[in-house]
Amino acid sequence: MKFTEEHEWLRAENDIIVVGITEHATTQLGDIVFVELPEVGTTVSKDDEIVVIESVKAASDILAPIDGEIVEVNEALGDNPALANDDATGAGWFFKIKPSNPSQMDGLMDEAAYTAFIA
């Protein structure tokens, strides 16, 4: 897995990248009560605002961590946004993206660097 300074995680599954937010992010946000996901087929550029999260504490935007096309979204979050709190790096994923420039992953943090970043 790779991590961003905005507390997103990215996991490669063949040529698709699964994206969600870290457990650290869910702890900071508190209970997530609403998630607005991007449309499948949307082409995004790194740092585009593509997801809106509302929690009991705040509203936050999730930025695209890499360039690419959204190929799938986690529809389960619409009915149960708390999945992001309950299983941040598993069932609580947000979207899958087909990267247009896979080398952008190289500039992201590995788990050790992310752990040091949040310490």
Query: Could you tell me the pTM of the whole model?
Result: 0.95
Q: What is the pLDDT of residue 100?
A: 97
- Is 71 a domain residue? yes
Rounded Cα gap, residues 116 and 13, in angstroms? 25
- Is 119 a domain residue? no
Q: What is the pLDDT of residue 48?
A: 97
Rounded Cα gap, residues 45 and 29, in angstroms? 25
Tens-digit pLDDT profile for residues 5-39 = 999 999 999 999 999 999 999 999 999 999 999 99
Residue 66 structural domain: 2-101
- Is 107 a domain residue? no
- Is 111 a domain residue? no
Number of domains in the chain: 1
SS3 5: coil
Q: What is the pLDDT of residue 41?
A: 98
Residue 98 burial by CB count (10 A; 0-12/13-18/19+): exposed, middle or buried?
A: middle
Q: What is the pLDDT of residue 77?
A: 96
Q: How sure is the predictor about 63, in pLDDT bands with cuts at 50, 70 and 90?
A: very high
Q: What are phi and psi of 114, to 5 degrees?
A: -65, -40
DSSP designation for 18: E
66 CB neighbour count, 10 Å cutoff: 24
- Is 110 a domain residue? no
- Is 28 a domain residue? yes
